[in-house]
Structure 1
Amino acid sequence: MSAIPSHAQGPADTPLLEETIGANLDRAVAAFPDREALVDLATGRRWSYRELDRDVNRVALGLLALGVGRGDRVGIWAPNCAEWFLVQYATARVGAILVTVNPGYRTHELAYVLRQSGIRTVVAARSFKTSDYAAMLAEAAPDCPYLRDILLIGSPEWDALLAAGEAADPGQLTEIGAQLSPTDPINIQYTSGTTGFPKGATLSHRNILNNGYFVGELCHYTEADRICVPVPFYHCFGMVMGNLAATSHGACVVIPAPAFDPAATLAAVAAERCTSLYGVPTMFIAELNDPGFDGYDLSSLRTGIMAGSPCPIEVMKQVVERMGMRDVSICYGMTETSPVSTQTRTDDPLERRVSTVGRVGPHLEVKVVDPVTGATVERGAPGELCTRGYSVMLGYWEEPAKTAEAVDAGGWMHTGDLAVMDEEGYLNITGRIKDMVIRGGENIYPREIEEFLYTHPDIVDAQVIGVPDAKYGEELMAWIRLRPGAEPLTPEALRAFCAGRIAHYKIPRYVHLVDEFPMTVTGKIRKVEMREQAVELLGLHDAAQTRHA
């Protein structure tokens, strides 16, 4: 019997949505005019689908009055708020390309994105946390030749945009909508580059509307669902898996706070009777460890999504048991694929749902290939995960060479992630190709060790990296967060815990106790920064200079 290749195709029984985001929203408004569509808890504002349609159109007509047209780039730079949501749908209605700007950017990064994407109009918060957005925009603007308008939310300019939209002829939107195509570019999202400047993944209506829709289908969303979205809108997790999954099913989006706060998130679920909750693993860990956790009524929760970075099995089990999210789903993907490629299903056995990233999504295709030869490997063998289908981006904005490096001639997006596909098509992500540690010729996947460390009763979170070593090339270092009140964990104590349970070469040589990890604003651990800090902490400068074959 021949070995089965690591290749799988998703079901295609439910057809793709061949419509624009605006047309899809029209259908939801017609079907559910009086159902709640959006709740912004920080400001106490609420919208039914009818009211949402009115305000989206007001913003869309205001943008037209400013001269924004099809294909023009409109930046949005703000934490999660209702205005962000309105601008997302308004730009889609007029065919403008929404450029989502990371709320954590400083002036240098902001200026790069403004210039590289050719942003014409920016909608921004005045400030957020320690960032003075207004001042940074004023500083960056002179070097951005395409920039015409800066609209600060709540400013006279923003109010003027709304007033212009109120006075305009809504018939314009009908005419424009008829000219738009589902394959038009609609969104540029800058992927967080670990080296050099980020790249602008360019996505179409078809890319992100279908991805949001099918993610929602696999969560069994209906108009009765209320989705708590504490993940950032500027990223696909918030604006696609959150907003578009909701509106394509007539469901409601609940914004618990402008930025993630575990207590505010738990309070929102309880007060708004949310049926679904989203988060990256670090968010769920923070919620589960919130001092007031037991005081929140989470009985309304049915489902939710954990994604964004590898999901620890032990955390997933607690989410099911302690939060009541019996149908919780793990999703895997990347910005360049709109984002979701694989997802667990509600009818998957619990063990599959807590230990894999599921199977390929509808209308998509995945394979696992040898990173060197490109040949598809047998099931059970590790390799690089590639994906193909409607979700693959149009390309990196004005960077054809970088696009060609990522998407091959066959249309396959090369993810850079290491994965294993089992006999039934379930996938495990075992790490990043660049995160793999080679210690004395042994290939070590940090994810495997991290999963083991989660079984230690005092460890809340663990991240394993490779650090330079003169003898072995690389050695293992564990960065660990302990439970409050736990005794400090020494390297010797950790080694004793590991001894006899994992191979000796997988036991971390170094242990570093931390309160938090270096992270991107989306909650992804920055292992590159951890490695840089480790060289300083451990005095490994000489080892870092050692050359190895």
Structure 2
Amino acid sequence: MDETAHALGASRTLWELVDRRAGLTPDRPVLLQGDRTLTFGELRDGAERVAAGLYGMGVRPGSVVAWQLPTRIETVLLSFALARLGAVQSPVIPFYRDREVGFALRESRADFFAVPGTWRGHDHTAMAERLGARGVFEAYGTLPDGDPAVLPPPPADGTAVRWIYWTSGTTSDPKGVLHTDRSLIAGGSCLAHALHLTADDIGSMAFPFAHIGGPDYTVMLLLYGFPAVLFEHFAMDTALPEYRRHGVTVAGGSTAFYSMFLTEQRKAPGQRLVPTLRLLAGGGAPKPPEIYHAVVREMGVQLTHGYGMTEVPMITMGAPDDTAENLATTEGRPPAGMEIRIVDPEGKPVPAGVDGEVRLRGEAVCQGYADPGQAAGVFDAEGFLVTGDVGHLRETGHLVLTGRMKDIIIRKGENISAKEIEDLLHQHPAVADAAVIGLPDQERGERVCAVIERRPGTDDLTPAAMSAFLRGEGLSVHKLPEQLEVVDALPRNDALRKVLKYKLRELYG
């Protein structure tokens, strides 16, 4: 990280970071969307005017403001206006509906709720009224406006809880994850440090700004002073012209996005999909090694992947100058200040190379959950976050994730890693994506079920062909799936397109 970025990373609050960057490069662009451009100076000044308008509506330091808005310049302005006021923000993914939104409003005790009106055919204002939300206002094309002279001083304490982010609720009700300005700055600094970006880069945000990745990415823009292209709703056919038009150098989001890029690249092999693109980067879901090799081989760009979660927005990240083997098979290394501990079932640390549960401690780690009843067992006695992920550290410090505690399938008393089988299935030419789950079985305890998303233009994989392929790749016989399901599309969430395994267990269990 260069000296300027390092100094900016020490900012106490997000507003201080915005103010300092605007002072350094006020006329450089930060957000690009269609024909619109917002500079760092306009971000600061515009956010102050919006903050004054919000203040006139009754928003005060400590007010809880939920917002369910698409990825637009106005959304970023509103978010930083709330950061200027020192309000508590509760971002909600714009695709969520009554159940998830109502839960977030109740759990956060929101005083105000910003919505986009009718967006993509859904009336968010009517839904807010139906849910009994307080202080509902629309913030899509226009935002509150006022004279910044009325504003109180900006917040100075970066360790106060000012953010409530919601987990995806893939197994139960969502959890409200409590973050501070400093934890978000620490997460974004990790991303920025690992990717080795410069002020000449042009990034892109293809995932919802309301996701924890939103501030993660925006902090990186503020540290290095380069812009990103925003996509209100991502679709590859409409996004590609924007990537090319703006000369995007860094793209990605998650494994599903890498696969989408590969699908497009395969339509015109040998021709650069985006001529300026040099790096795909992302996280949020496991990356099969074959995806890495396919991106480098077919697209001619580097791929770096990281490990993060709503509770800790950035834990490790691959670096573009790392070895191909590490980039393909690990999640990268943690930055300074992020402690990773791998423990056995009794909570005792294990040596390098030995699998165990991943635990985390550092500034980027959340402060817990909005519901105290969900806090039991979240942190261990030494203050490490208990993740439920399984993996090991290499001697080099690289982290290898091998699955989730709940993704360890116990078949006739033998532990089987779902991820090991998934990584092998990804190498089959008929497989676009794969999810391996354990299903209840009276004889075995659990049986191994592989759910395959077929690659367009290929024939369905048969159970016999699958078993023969996996055996040919060296998979032990006792790990072979007993059940195979072939689908056109795996169920995914709306943020980073992660596969929803709980839906597969419900469907096939």
TM bin (shorter chain)? over 0.9
In structure 1, the residue corresponding to 2:186 is in which secondary structure? helix
Q: Which residue of 2 aligns with 1:517?
A: 490
Deviation for aligned residue 1:246: 1.0
Indicate which of 419, 443, 458 corresponds to 1:447: 419
Distance in 2, Cα, partners of 1:63 & 1:323:
46
Match of 2:58 among 60, 67, 71: 67
Offset, 1:385: 0.4
For structure 2, the 5+ residue unaligned runs are none
Q: Is the 8 A contact 2:125 2:136 kept in 1?
A: no
Describe the SS at the equivalent of 1:395. coil
Q: Measure how far apart 1:202 and its partner are.
A: 0.9
User: Aligned pair in 2 of structure 1 residues 515, 382: CA closer, same or farther (>3 Å)?
Assistant: same
| Superposition deviation, residue 201 in structure 1 | 0.6
Distance 1:19 1:469 in 2: 53
Shift in Å at residue 93 of structure 1? Answer: 0.8
1:33 match: 26
Structure 1 length-normalised TM? 0.87
Q: 2:384 aligns with which of 412, 417, 420?
A: 412
Deviation at 1:293, TM superposition (A): 5.6
Name which of 37, 47, 50 aligns with 1:56.
Answer: 47
User: Out of 439, 444, 448, which is 1:472 matched to?
Assistant: 444
For the residue of structure 1 that corresponds to 2:297, the secondary structure is helix
Q: Secondary structure at the match of 2:311?
A: helix
**1:335 aligned residue (284, 305, 310):** 310
Equivalent AA in structure 2 for residue 120 of structure 1:
D
For 1:354, the equivalent position in structure 2 comes to 328
CA distance in 1, matches of 2:325, 2:241: 29
Match of 1:383 among 342, 345, 356: 356
Aligned-partner residue type, residue 364 of structure 1: M
Residue number in structure 1 paired with 2:36? 45
Distance in 1, matches of 2:470 and 2:174, equals: 39
Query: 1:428 Cα shift?
Result: 1.0
Deviation at 1:335, TM superposition (A): 1.0
> Greater relative contact order: 1 or 2 (C-alpha under 8 angstroms, separation 6 or more)?
1
Within 5 Å, which residues of 2 pair with 1:80-229? 80-141=71-132, 144=133, 147-154=134-141, 158=142, 161-162=144-145, 165=146, 168=147, 170-173=148-151, 175-177=152-154, 179-229=155-205
- Displacement of 1:138 in angstroms is 1.4
Counterparts of 2:457 and 2:171 in 1: how far apart (Å)? 38
Q: Partners of 1:186 and 1:19 in 2: how far apart?
A: 13
Does residue 270 of the first structure (1) align with residue 279 of the second (2)? Answer: no
Residues 364 and 296 from structure 1, CA distance in 2 versus in 1: closer, same or farther, beyond 3 angstroms? same
Task: Figure out how many residues of one structure are paired with residues of the other and give that number.
Answer: 500
Question: What residue number does 1:260 align with?
Answer: 234
Please report how far the alpha carbon of residue 172 of structure 1 lies from its aligned counterpart in structure 2 after TM superposition.
4.3
Letter in 2 for 1:508: P
- Residue 426 (structure 1) shift: 1.2
Counterpart AA for 1:517: L
TM-superposition CA deviations, 1:443-496 (whole Å, max 9, x none)? 001100011111112212111111122210111111112222212211112122
C-alpha distance in structure 1 between counterparts of 2:118 and 2:478, whole Å: 48
Which amino acid in structure 1 is aligned with residue 31 of structure 2?
Answer: L
Say if 1:460 and 1:196 are closer, same or farther in 2 by CA, change over 3 A.
closer
Aligned to 1:538: none
Deviations 1:187-243 (A, max 9, x none): 110112234321111111100012112311221223222111101111112x12322
Contact 2:12 2:156 in 1 (8 A): no
Q: Normalised by the size of structure 2, how large is the TM-score?
A: 0.94
Q: Comparing 14-23 with 526-535, which one deviates more in the overlay? A: 14-23
Q: Identify if the C-alpha distance between structure 1 residues 444 and 243 changes in structure 2 by more than 3 Å, giving closer, same or farther.
A: same
Could you tell me which runs of 5 or more consecutive residues in structure 1 were left unpaired when the two chains were aligned.
Answer: 1-12, 536-549
Question: What fraction of aligned residue pairs are identical, expressed as a percent?
Answer: 32
Do the aligned partners of 1:418 and 1:429 also contact (CA within 8 Å) in 2?
A: yes
After superposing the two structures, state which structure 1 stretch, 374-383 or 45-54, moved more. Answer: 45-54
**Matching residue's letter, 1:65:** G
Instruction: State which drifts further: 387-396 or 292-301.
Output: 292-301
